[in-house]
Amino acid sequence: MHSKVLGSTLIIAGTTIGAGMLALPLASAGLGFTHSLILMIGMWMLMSYTALLMLEVHQHAPANATLNSLAKQFLGKKGQWVATLATLFLLYALCAAYIAGGGSQFHNKLSALNTGGPLPKSAGVVLFTTLVATVVMLGTQKVDVINRGLFLLKVVLLGLSLALLLPLGEGQNLVALPLQEGLLIAAIPVMFTSFGFHGSIPSVVAYTGLNIKVLRKVMLIGSALPLIIYVLWQAASFGVLGASTLTQNSNLGMFIQSISTAIDSTRIANAISLFADLALATSFLGVSLGLFDFMADMLKRPSSAKGRIQTGLVTFIPPMLVALFYPQGFIAALGFASIALVILAVIIPVLMAQKVRRLGLNRDQYQVFGGKVTLYIAMISGLSVIVSQLVHGIG
C-alpha cells in the first residue's frame, strides 16, 4: 500500500512538473519574482482545492470512475458531453504537443548516435510514441515503476542545476518589482496550466483505492512538490538573469543559451536540457495514462490484451498524426488548452461538489473545507483564467 501511495504521489508530481516548467520564468518575466511567487501560490491553492473536491465527489461513485462517468452521474448527459469534449481537447492537445516535442528531441538523440546518414524526423516521432504507448498499455503499475525512475533522475538533474545556479543569483534581481499588466494577463493561464494534474486523478484513485485520508495526502503532497520546485526554479532564473534579460528570451532554446552565457557553463546547460527531456517524458506518461483510462471508460473497452491495444490505438494514433503532418496547427489550440483545463479542473468539480452537497450525500463523510464561499471563490478564479486567456488571445 505504501508503495502505491508513493507511486501515486510521484505520478501527480511528475504529471505537473512538465517541460512547461522551463517556460515559467519566460511567462512571468514582466511580473518580477515576488509577484510571480504570489500568483503561483494562488494557483496552487486553487488547483489543490479543486483536486480535493474531486475526492469528495469520488466517494459517491465506483472506484474506477473517470471524469466522464462522474460528470454523467452528477451533472447528467449535458455535463457529460461538456466534460468529454473538454477532456478530449485538452488531453489530445497536450499529447500532440508532447509527441511533437519529445519526437524532435528523440530524433536529435538518434541522429547523434546514427553514423549511417540522417534519419527522417518522422522516425523520432513514431519511435517516441510507440515507446510511451507500450508502457501505458501495460498498465498503471508499469507507468508507476518507470515514472519513479524517471522522476528520481529528473530531481537529481534539477537539484544539480539549482545547486549550481542559486549561489550565482543576485539579490537585487529577486526584490525588483516590475509589473506589466499586459504580461500579468499572459502569465495567469501559463501559471494555471502549470498545476494541471486533474486528468490523472481518476487513474490514481482507481490504482490506490478509495481511501480519502490517503488520497488527500497524495493530492496535497503531489501538488506541493511542484510548487516548491517551481519557487526554487524561479529564484534561480530571476536571480541569475533578472527580469529584463528574461523578457528578451522568446523560447526555451534562447533561455538555456542565456543561462549558459551568463554563468559560462555548458554543464548546467546540458543538465537543464536533459531535465527538459525527462520532464517532457514524465508529463507525457501522466497525461497519456489519463487519456488512455478515459478512452477505455468512454468506449467501454475491456482490460484484456485486445481491449487495451484497441484503446491504445485510439489514444495515441490521433495525436501522433497531428505531430507528424500538422505540428504547427496545434500551437494556437494549445494556447487555449487552459480554457479546457478550467472547465475540467475547476468548473466541473465545483458543480459536482455543489450537487453532492445539495443532495445531502456527504453526511458523516469527507467534505472539503469552506462551504459555499470557497466554491464561489474557486469558480470566480477559474473564470478569471478564461478571461485572461481570451484577452491575451485577441492581443
CA atoms 363, 365, 370, 374: torsion sign: negative
Which percentage of the chain shows pLDDT scores above 90? 19
Model confidence band, residue 48 (pLDDT cutoffs 50, 70, 90): very high
Q: What is the pLDDT of residue 182?
A: 58
Distance CA 72, CA 378 (A): 22
pLDDT tier for residue 57 given thresholds of 50, 70 and 90: very high
Separation of alpha carbons 361 and 157, rounded Å: 46
What pLDDT was estimated at residue 116? 59
Tell me which range, 58-62, 172-176, 216-220, is most confidently predicted by mean pLDDT.
216-220
27-36, 164-173, 337-346: which has the highest mean pLDDT? 337-346
Q: Is residue 366's pLDDT more than 80?
A: yes
Does the structure show a pLDDT above 80 at 257?
Answer: no
Q: Tell me, what amino acid is at 319?
A: P
Give tens-digit pLDDT for 227-237. Answer: 998 888 888 88
CA–CA dist 347, 360 (Å, integer): 20
Choose among 111, 233, 118, 239: nearest CA to 170: 239
Q: Which domains does the chain have, with CATH numbers?
A: 2-393 (1.20.1740.10)
Most confident region among 35-44, 143-152, 241-250, 298-307 by mean pLDDT: 35-44
- pLDDT range class, residue 107, cuts 50, 70, 90: confident
As a whole number, mean pLDDT of residues 186-208 equals 84
Q: How confident is the model at residue 332 (pLDDT cuts 50, 70, 90)?
A: low
Contact 68, 294 (CB under 8 A): yes
Question: Quick one: pLDDT band at residue 329, thresholds 50, 70, 90?
Answer: low
Query: Phi and psi of 197, rounded to 5°?
Result: -125, 5
pLDDT at 114: 66
CA distances from 269 to 150, 244, 281 (A): 19, 20, 19
Q: What is the mean pLDDT of residues 57-80?
A: 88
CB of 235 closer than 8 Å to CB of 241:
no
Can you give the pLDDT at residue 253? 58
| Torsion on CA atoms 136, 138, 142, 147, rounded to nearest 10 | -20
**What pLDDT was estimated at residue 19?**
59
